[in-house]
Amino acid sequence: MSTPTRERDAMSRACQTIGAVMMAGYLLVSMQGCSKTVEGTSGSKTTEQGVVKAPVTLPGEERVSDDIVVAKAEPEAARQRTEEMKQEAAATAGTGLQDVFFGYDSWTIIDGGKQALGADAQWLKANGGKALTIEGHCDERGTQAYNLVLGERRAKAVRSYLTDLGVDAKRMAVASYGKDRPFCRDHNEDCYQQNRRGHLVLRVK
């Protein structure tokens, strides 16, 4: 179809004409308008006759255009990642591995956590070929950014404790999601407790 080409030619002529009569300061604005218009041709309205009109910017006019292109999604990469995470969750569910819970603003392993990690260490020793990701999570209080750091400390505290129990640190990767992947979404202490967590996930790759 030759119409778009004709339009671009017409646009380009219009821009050149405008450019020629513009003073330098104005030129910048007009040229932005022109180049943007060419890109935006596909978004032009189609009239009832089916003729696509190209926008024109005349001397003395200032074109207001949009300047953001939406980034292309990578659906295949996203789909693969989602699939792998589902597999990991399913594999973890069959192991009996237990999560660890923390106090407010704390990354100290407390008594309940020690028992859970003792059992986890037993399982890991019995299943020497398996590798883990330890995710650190936080409750909704505090800033998102600082909770990323806090979550990492929790994950590392878990790894450190398991290492002390004789599990090879190389089998345990750490991650932090701060408060941005919560297990529970209510605004009360029961929920907060669920989210202050070291979450153990079996790796499938």
Partner 1 sequence: MTSRMTRRSKIIAGAVLGLAGAGMLGSILESGAADVYLEAARPDFQKVPIGILGFQDGSLPSRPGKEAAAVLAVDLRRSQVFAVADASKLGIALTGPNAPEKQKLKQAVGLGVKVLVWGTIGTRDPDYLLDRFVYDGGSDEIGASKRYVGSAALLRQITHRLADELVARYTGEPGIARTRIAYVSEQKGARELFIMDYDGHAPRQLTSDGFLNLTPQWSPDRKFLVFTSYQSRTRQNIEIVDLSTGKRSPLVSLSGLNITPAMSPDGAKLAFATSQDGNSEIYTMEMQTKALQRLTVHSAGDLSPSWAPTGKEIVFTSDRGGGPQIYLMSADGSNVRRLTFDGDYNAAPAWSPRGNWVAYVCRSEQRQYKICLISPDGQKRAQLTSGQSIDDSPSWSPDGRHLVFSSTSGGKTQLYMINSDGKEMEPLTSIGSHNSMPAWSSAEIQTVDSQPTEKK
Residue 102 is a binding residue for partner 1 (CB under 8 A): no
C-beta of 144: minimal distance to partner 1 in Å? 6
- Rounded CA gap, 35 and 182, in Å? 45
C-beta of 156: minimal distance to partner 1 in Å? 8
C-beta of 161: minimal distance to partner 1 in Å? 16
Residue 152 is a binding residue for partner 1 (CB under 8 A): yes
**b vs e for 17-48, b when ≥16 Cβ sit within 10 Å of the residue's Cβ?**
ebeeebeeeeeeebbebbebbeeeeeeeeeee
CB 132 within 8 Å of CB 203: yes
Q: Residues binding partner 1: what is the number (CB under 8 A)?
A: 61
Residue 92 is a binding residue for partner 1 (CB under 8 A): no
Nearer to partner 1, 30 or 120 (CB): 30
The C-alpha torsion from 78 through 83 and 163 to 113, rounded to 10°, is 100
Residue 4 is a binding residue for partner 1 (CB under 8 A): no
Residue from 38, 88, 171, 193 touching partner 1 (CB under 8 A): that is 88
